Structure 1
Amino acid sequence: MSEFQSDREQAARKPGPLKWVIAAAVIIGVAAVLYVIGAASFKPAGVTDLNEFKKASLAKLDVPAAPRGQPTTVFTDGAGKSLTLADFKGQVVVMNLWATWCAPCKKEMPTLAKLQASYATQPLKVLPISVDRDSDLNLVQAQMTANSPLQVYRDPGYKLSFALDPRAEGYPTTVIYDKQGRERARLAGDADWSSPEAHGLVEALLAEH
């Protein structure tokens, strides 16, 4: 066998550039599939991705990578009865921390009332929790009367604001919990809670089991 023939046979046995490209593509494809499978395995069962509702009036919505726990902090209703968020387990809860001296809070309150009214027959609870001092209770009551069917809830010591993780940045702050009591979304600042995206978010959580 000539030296020329030997070199030609060795060259034929070596993988060409096209083979390397195909092999690389296969490896990348397999890696992508494994990544998707791995990412899915870390997603809690029955958890809907709420990022699709982060638009328009809810553009500032914060959707945590994993659901957060809820504080066990005590607050009161209009009659002074002590409550915690756990008392509303089994319902989608839209907790709104607000104050009568907060203009953006009062601006969005009618939209929270509309949201509650729209789901009156479903397990949705809008909790507008006022941080106003005791001497301003009459102002809180007037706001709730003007925004029926919302009810009076109070936390004058700001305990819930500090118990959240992370803490509330200011007012209004709205935190949304699923039926299992897990924080699924949060929005700092006012929003239109009667908007299509707000309804879509609520309905996505209501549909979860």
Structure 2
Amino acid sequence: MSDGTKSWPAARIVATLIALCIVVAGFALYVTERPSGNNPAETVSTKASAPDGCAVKADKAKKLAAAATGSVAAMSASGPPVSLAGLSFNGPDGKPLKLADFKGKTVLMNLWATWCAPCRAEMPELDALQKEKGGSGFQVVAVNADTGGDDKPKKFLAETGATTLAYYSDHTMALFNELKDRGLALGLPVTLLIDKDGCLMTHMNGPAAWASTEAKSFIDTAAGG
């Protein structure tokens, strides 16, 4: 009886060490084995090695966040604003694009997936916003994050009645992982407001009624500033 009692703590210690090893190994695998595909880390990275001119817009970002009310009140100011011009994804023609290609436009970037139920409810709202406000000064850039091909996402857009939005995609998860690393993406959908210089001004996780009066007023403020 005493032998069994003495061996029990030792057995628990061994089991605990084994469990810790498994957790550490799993974490290392997650960190090091991310898909790269068309968005290698050096292309997608938004970590600036030198000041990019966006940080000086901190007060402007706060004022813009304050203008996000009602259905878009979850929009938070980026503190301080950083450049996202280096983020890349595929354009409607399947060729790589960067946010830098939209310089001169205020961009509402939305990351979505076909398995995301809130994304399905939100897509017609984004489509309506693009239809009414899209133009030379503003554009909704909705990027699909499915890891498969294009057929299912394009069918998803058709099913939701999104006929105005252009189709953008990143099937590698590199874009989502980059936003996650920066603390911007907790899940899907995630939406970012980027100014005409490629600076992240505000961001939010979760869906919003983008066709609402409050959302349109927010976009008018963002695009006009």
TM-score range, shorter chain: 0.7 to 0.9
Structure 1 segments of 4+ aligned residues over 4 angstroms from their partners: none
Q: Deviations over 1:47-79 (max 9, x none)?
A: 361133333211221112332221523210232
Identity of aligned residues (%): 32
Amino acid corresponding to residue 194 of structure 1 in structure 2: A
Aligned to 2:3: none
| Count, aligned residues | 166
Q: Is residue 142 from structure 1 mapped to residue 159 from structure 2 by the alignment?
A: no
Distance 1:121 1:60, change over 3 A: closer
Distance 1:71 1:87, change over 3 A: closer
Match of 1:47 among 60, 85, 106: 60
Match of 2:119 among 85, 95, 105: 105
Distance 1:110 1:139, change over 3 A: same
Amino acid corresponding to residue 179 of structure 1 in structure 2: K
Amino acid corresponding to residue 102 of structure 2 in structure 1: F
Q: Secondary structure of the residue that 1:110 maps to in structure 2?
A: helix
CA drift at 1:88: 0.6
Aligned to 1:183: 200
Q: Is residue 92 from structure 1 mapped to residue 106 from structure 2 by the alignment?
A: yes
Query: Matched residues in 1 for 2:81 and 2:135: separation?
Result: 26
The 5 Å alignment of 1:1-209 reads: 44=57, 47=60, 49-70=63-84, 72-135=86-149, 137-145=150-158, 146-164=161-179, 165-208=182-225
Instruction: Name the larger-Rg structure.
Output: 1
Q: Secondary structure of the residue that 1:95 maps to in structure 2?
A: strand
Amino acid corresponding to residue 156 of structure 2 in structure 1: Q
Distance 1:171 1:178, change over 3 A: same
Amino acid corresponding to residue 206 of structure 1 in structure 2: A
Structure 2 length-normalised TM:
0.67
Query: Matched residues in 2 for 1:53 and 1:97: separation?
Result: 22
Unaligned runs of 5+ in 2: 1-54
Amino acid corresponding to residue 116 of structure 1 in structure 2: Q
CA drift at 1:87: 0.5
Query: Matched residues in 2 for 1:116 and 1:132: separation?
Result: 22
Q: Deviations over 1:106-152 (max 9, x none)?
A: 100001001101123441111110111234x2121123332011011
Query: Matched residues in 2 for 1:73 and 1:66: separation?
Result: 18
Q: Note if contact 1:179-1:205 (Cα within 8 Å) is conserved in structure 2.
A: no
Q: Secondary structure of the residue that 2:204 maps to in structure 1?
A: strand
Q: Report the RMSD for the aligned CA atoms in angstroms.
A: 2.1
Unaligned runs of 5+ in 1: 1-41
Q: Secondary structure of the residue that 1:176 maps to in structure 2?
A: strand
Distance 1:76 1:117, change over 3 A: same
Query: Matched residues in 1 for 2:56 and 2:147: separation?
Result: 41
Structure 1 length-normalised TM:
0.72
